[in-house]
Amino acid sequence: MKSYQIDPDFLWGVATSANQVEGGWNEDGKGMSIADCLRYRPQLDVTNYKATNSISSRQVKEAMSDLSTKNWAKRHGVDFYHNYHEDIKQLAAMGISAFRFSISWARIFPNGDDQEPNQAGLDYYLDLVKEMNKYNIEPIMTLSHYEIPLNLVLNYDAWYDRRVIGFFDRFAKTVIDYLHDYVKYWIPINEIDSIIRHPFSSAGLIEDRFPNKNFKNVIYQAMHNQFVASARIIKYCHETYPDLKIGCMITSTMVYPYNSDPRNVLRATEIMRNVYAFSDIQIRGQYPKYLLKKLKEEDIKIEEKAEDADLIKRNTADFIAFSYYSSVCTAYDTRGLQVTKANRINGVYNKYLPESEWGWQIDPIGLRLSLIKLYDRYQKPLFIVENGLGASDVLTNDKKVHDDYRICYLRDHIHQMLISLVEDGIELIGYCVWGTTDMISASSNQISKRYGLIYVDLDDEGNGTYKRYRKDSYYWYKKLLSFGNKIPMSFFDEPLTHVNESAVS
Measure the CA–CA gap between 503 and 109, rounded to whole angstroms.
46
Nearest Cα to Cα of residue 236 among 172, 321, 192, 309: 172
* Burial zone of 376 (CB within 10 Å; 0-12 exposed, 13-18 middle, 19+ buried): exposed
191 among known catalytic residues: yes
Of 497, 444, 447, 456, the residue nearest 41 (C-alpha)? 444
How many whole angstroms separate alpha carbon 349 and alpha carbon 328? 7
What pLDDT shows up at residue 340? 80
Residue 368 contacts residue 374 (beta carbons within 8 Å): no
Which of 236, 210, 233 lies closest to 221 in space, CA to CA?
A: 210
Q: Which residues are 189's β-sheet partners?
A: 144
Catalytic residue selected from 86, 116, 386, 501 = 386
DSSP 445-472: S-SSSB--SEEE---TTS-S---EEE-H
Write the burial class of residue 445 (CB in 10 Å: 0-12 exposed, 13-18 middle, 19+ buried). buried
Neighbouring-strand partners of residue 257:
330
Give the residue ranges of the chain where pLDDT is below 50. Answer: 502-505
Burial class (CB in 10 A: 0-12, 13-18, 19+), 48: middle
Question: Among 358, 199, 374, which Cα is nearest to 278's?
Answer: 374
CA 55 to chain centre: 21
Element (H, E) at 475: helix 472-481
- Residue 339 parent element (H or E): strand 339-341
Based on DSSP, count helices (H) and strands (E) in the chain, helices before strands.
18, 14
* Pairing mode of beta strands 428-434, 382-386: parallel
Measure the CA–CA gap between 222 and 159, rounded to whole angstroms: 5
Go through 134-173 and write b for each residue having 16 or more CB atoms within 10 A of its CB, e for each that does not: eeebbbbbbbbbbbbbbbbbbebbbbbbbebbebbebbbe
Number of CB atoms found within 10 A of residue 239's CB: 9
Strand positions, DSSP E, 342-440: 346-348, 382-386, 428-434
User: pTM for this structure?
Assistant: 0.96
Catalytic-labelled residue, pool 62, 147, 191, 427: 191
